[in-house]
Structure 1
Amino acid sequence: MNDLDKLTVTADDSILLIIDIQERLAPAIAYHESILEKTGILVQAAETLGIPVLATEQYPKGLGPTIAPIQVLFSQMTHFLGVFEKIQFSALTPEVLAAIQATGRKKVVIAGMETHVCVFQTARALQAAGYQCFLARDAVGSRTDANRDNGLELIRSCGSVVTNVETLVFDWLKQAGTPVFKQLSKLIK
């Protein structure tokens, strides 16, 4: 993979991983409403473009299930691979790794919480396992800006691409003027 390949993501080579956007965690996260909106855009775009989506929940007994608006989107999907419970901070459990491997895709787009803990540890583990990660910076968060910023720095330093939801959706689309472009561009406006 050359340097530009590492910066390129397509609908055919990527999956979307939603990390720990849960009922009792989300309200404590700075800008959580915006993060939920941006995550929703990613999920809807992924479904429209046939991109597999999977999610994790960190200790759901304590932090609750995935927050309801995201669960509703999952329930309407045909490309949803499931929600995987975990207690380790990295989302790359053996079950999640097996689900990712089964897709045959090598690029993982990440959204979720918290940037400096579970999101960072997941990106680091995926990069070490040979995957290229794309982090949607406007669809991740931590309780404080300082922790979020530190998490973004760490994620970038391990070789992941830090980008944003709009760039990802337009990378997935590749061109304007198609019916799919018209449908998805409404989400971004």
Structure 2
Amino acid sequence: MSIKDTFFLEQDKALLVVIDVQEKLCAAMDEKVLSRLSKNITILLESAAELQIPVLVTEQYVKGLGSTLPALKEKTAHASRCEKMTFSCCGCSEFIESIKATGRNQIIITGMETHVCVLQTVIELLDAGFVVHLVRDAVMSRSKQNWQTALDAMAQAGAVPTCTESVVFQLLKVAGTEEFKKLSKLVR
């Protein structure tokens, strides 16, 4: 595998995952950070829809933590969904089956909490041979220290640290297209 195969996202190889951005969990988060997270995940969801990139949404213990935030739920109406009890999304057989069904090997990770469900999922995806792009400005934890510790651990494990704008422009590749005109407005 070349360095570009690891660090450059491709439309036909990428899959977007939104991990556990649920109502009751969000209530415990810093409002400013949550607002930025929601905005960035929305940008990624709109980009995925425009570029025909599959989306997979997970929800942890819905009975206790509620559903995905309504604003994001609207944007994920056609996404595959996985309700889970395990912290790692990979503990849910539907999750792995959904990824394999797409035939894609580049997994773009967003969601919460960075040091629990996101961390465990990323480690297991890497261990299974997937290329994982961790969108640093689209993951969060209640504590900044927990967030940073998990980011460091995932980068050491081999996840590619990235940000929302980098993901969008890597997937677009060139300026001047209709997709570029539409999606570049989202990150201004």
Unaligned residue ranges in structure 1 (runs of 5+): none
Identify the residue that residue 9 of structure 1 maps to in structure 2. Answer: 9
Distance in 2 of aligned mates of 1:174 and 1:145: 33
Q: Answer whether contact 2:57 2:76 (CA < 8 A) is retained.
A: no
Alignment partner of 1:49 is 2:51: yes
Percent identity over the alignment? 42
Identify the residue that residue 88 of structure 1 maps to in structure 2. Answer: 86
Written as runs of structure 1 = structure 2, the 5 A alignment for 1:39-78 is 39-75=41-77, 77=78
Distance in 1 of aligned mates of 2:4 and 2:12: 17
Alignment partner of 1:152 is 2:154: no
Identify the residue that residue 101 of structure 2 maps to in structure 1. Answer: 102
Counterpart residue type for residue 86 of structure 1: K
Counterpart residue type for residue 44 of structure 1: E
Identify the residue that residue 183 of structure 1 maps to in structure 2. Answer: 182
Counterpart residue type for residue 81 of structure 2: V
Distance in 2 of aligned mates of 1:58 and 1:86: 5
Secondary structure of the residue aligned to 2:99 is: helix
Distance apart, 1:4 and its partner CA:
3.0
Counterpart residue type for residue 153 of structure 2: L
Runs in 1 of length 4+ with deviation above 2 angstroms?
A: none
- TM-score, length-scaled by structure 1: 0.96
Secondary structure of the residue aligned to 2:59 is: strand
Identify the residue that residue 27 of structure 1 maps to in structure 2. Answer: 27
Distance apart, 1:65 and its partner CA:
0.4
Distance apart, 1:5 and its partner CA:
1.7
Distance in 2 of aligned mates of 1:28 and 1:181: 36
Unaligned residue ranges in structure 2 (runs of 5+): none
- TM-score, length-scaled by structure 2: 0.96
Distance in 1 of aligned mates of 2:10 and 2:29: 30
Counterpart residue type for residue 157 of structure 2: C
Distance apart, 1:184 and its partner CA:
0.3
Distance apart, 1:27 and its partner CA:
2.5
How large is the Cα RMSD of the aligned pairs?
0.9
Distance in 2 of aligned mates of 1:158 and 1:29: 26
